[in-house]
Structure 1
């Protein structure tokens, strides 16, 4: 697999770079949207919003498809005809909800999918193979997921087991964990021996409950990481958290902001301001969502009054149109952040 990453410029923590995957060049910081966008839009509509990458969780996908065997999961590039990049998680966060404490072993995890009853044994190697089966271009090594605010002993046990699972001859994203504790961050990082991973996935960010703590934690972890390595994390479906992690120096962010806001009926405009067209004040507003926006929705002259009408009749097209706009707007917002670095 052909993968390459380099840093171009840095300024006040924020940095820009180039990620090349199988001949496709992506600019970082890169916003990777969740596969939930496919619930509302066709793949070609997603691509038209300048979305270059999506991320999938194989365990969540197995639950959605009601699969009894993880081996039955499809190659998503073929199924969707996706011409961009697929990132995948190891499934660790979802497995953490399904596995019992005694299910964690030195050689992997034993767990059961909901309502299926079949015991699944997932080793670190099988976790990578599962992601590759989905057609993943960037994969993540398996780790033991615990809450950011878990007791120190639980955090330490997760770091120790995750280190045991490190595959020295694999070139994937290695998970850095340990809550907010610098000692555990160092232990987690020191688990990497031999071949350096392609990049690092900073876990637990979406569990942190304040922007100040996110900044503090990311700053401490980033100081440990090789400058030239790809930095990846996942945020809550929260615009403010998204901008915080990018400004902290993260290269790739997994985010469900676009879908979350669309389902809530919100269109993103003007540095994260939200417009909800269910309000009666839009019933005679003939402007586009954002007159300055070049997204497929705004340039097709769908008016705010029309969106208000769709919202009031509870049309599924309302979410689809808002989502198209949100995807394009967020991608453009991130691109504009990058352009400010001189």
Structure 2
């Protein structure tokens, strides 16, 4: 199957670019925010509602689907696309980040990672080969190499060891990968150390793969360090392959990463905030439980075309939250996903019309600027 990336236009003043990433399940117009559907569902949102947000590519997670319901069931259902009723492009994370988050109940060795399942206490051994086997069974368009995500803060020596192991694990992932209709992406680690990031980028991209990701950010480091990491890494990534920044989904972080040449993003922010009653409105976060929304009969955002903003008011959503009605989570999730997808869509249009640095100047400045 053919995977390709075509750059349609570039920004004259930054490294930003607008492109098309072709996959077996359709095209992804970049730059693009991708919603996260950890357990083969974007929480509280149906596939039809998700499509209406403008989302083109959706994530699922290897680790979580392995635990429940198991990749065998997903494979018998016809793969993750059919299982969840989504016919667009999909990506599965390798489980590396989830293993990182289980630091208190896991042990890392050269062979792989052993951890105790938080669901039933069963001991699970996850190796690069096993991660790829699971992802081959799940059947997403893009699969990720199994990596070791070092924490923040961590010493140079500790990050160097994790970064070198990530490269060795990638070599094993390449050998284990059996499906030509799935694109395997490598992950560049290196923590906050520029020399390790550059070394990792050169080593990982020396292996010819359909795309590459920057991992190990948004693990506790300050936002300004994320920009430094991205700007220091993207020059060593191929221009003719898609570049994916993992786990990032705020306006400023995405705009600055796009300026550095990043194409794809994912983050759980839109649905996680929704479950806490918070809406994203033009980059701000609103707690809709606040008293000021009780009698506010305007849409969340009058400029937003989403189902929620076209049909419901702030007062109604605030009422649903106070009444603990589950519909509130669906309505806010629809809006929040639309908000982030539209932000990257607007940047794409600005790049195509050579207006990126003018229209998004506010988001390209440091937060304190």
Q: Which residue of 2 aligns with 1:221?
A: 233
TM-score (norm 2): 0.82
DSSP-derived class of the 1:278 partner: coil
Match of 2:10 in 1: 10
Give the whole-Å Cα distance in 2 for the aligned partners of 1:62 and 1:252.
Answer: 25
* Superposed displacement of residue 109, structure 1: 3.3
1:313 matches 2:345: no
Give the unaligned 5+ runs of structure 1.
Answer: none
Instruction: Specify every segment of 5 or more residues in structure 2 that has no aligned partner in the other structure, as ranges.
Output: 178-182, 355-369
Q: Does residue 1:258 correspond to 2:270, yes or no? A: yes
- Kept in 1: contact 2:249–2:340 (CA 8 A): no
Matching of residues 81-96 of structure 1 within 5 Å: 81-96=85-100
Q: 1:194 to 1:281 in 2, by over 3 A?
A: closer
Tell me the secondary structure at the aligned position of residue 196 of structure 1: coil
Maintained 8 Å contact 2:189/2:216: yes
TM, length-normalised to structure 1: 0.88
Aligned match of 1:21 = 23
Tell me if structure 1 keeps the 8 A contact 2:27–2:89.
Answer: no
Corresponding residue number in structure 1 for 2:334? 324
In structure 2, relative to structure 1, the CA distance for the partners of 1:176 and 1:148 (3 Å cut) is farther
By how many angstroms is 1:101 displaced? 7.4
Paired residue secondary structure (1:293): coil
Distance in 1, matches of 2:273 and 2:122, equals 36
In structure 2, relative to structure 1, the CA distance for the partners of 1:339 and 1:234 (3 Å cut) is: same
Helix, strand or coil at the partner of 1:61? helix
> What RMSD in Å do the two structures reach over aligned CA positions?
2.5
Question: CA contact under 8 A between 1:2 and 1:23: conserved in structure 2?
Answer: no
Mark the CA change 1:212 to 1:39 in structure 2 (over 3 Å): closer, same or farther: closer
Q: Is the CA contact (8 Å cut-off) linking 1:246 and 1:253 kept in structure 2?
A: no
2:144 to 128, 140, 143: 140
Superposition deviation, residue 322 in structure 1 = 1.1
SS of alignment partner, residue 205 of structure 1? coil
| SS of structure 1 residue aligned to 2:150 | coil
Contact 1:235/1:241 (<8 A) preserved: no
Taking the aligned partners of 2:108 and 2:290, their CA distance within structure 1 comes to 50
* Residues 54-92 of structure 1: CA deviation (Å, up to 9, x unaligned): 1122113344x3x5x665555321211111111111101
Which SS does the other structure have where 1:172 is aligned?
A: strand
Q: How many residues align?
A: 336
Q: SS of 1:232's equivalent? A: strand
What displacement does 1:311 show? 2.1
1:280 match: 291
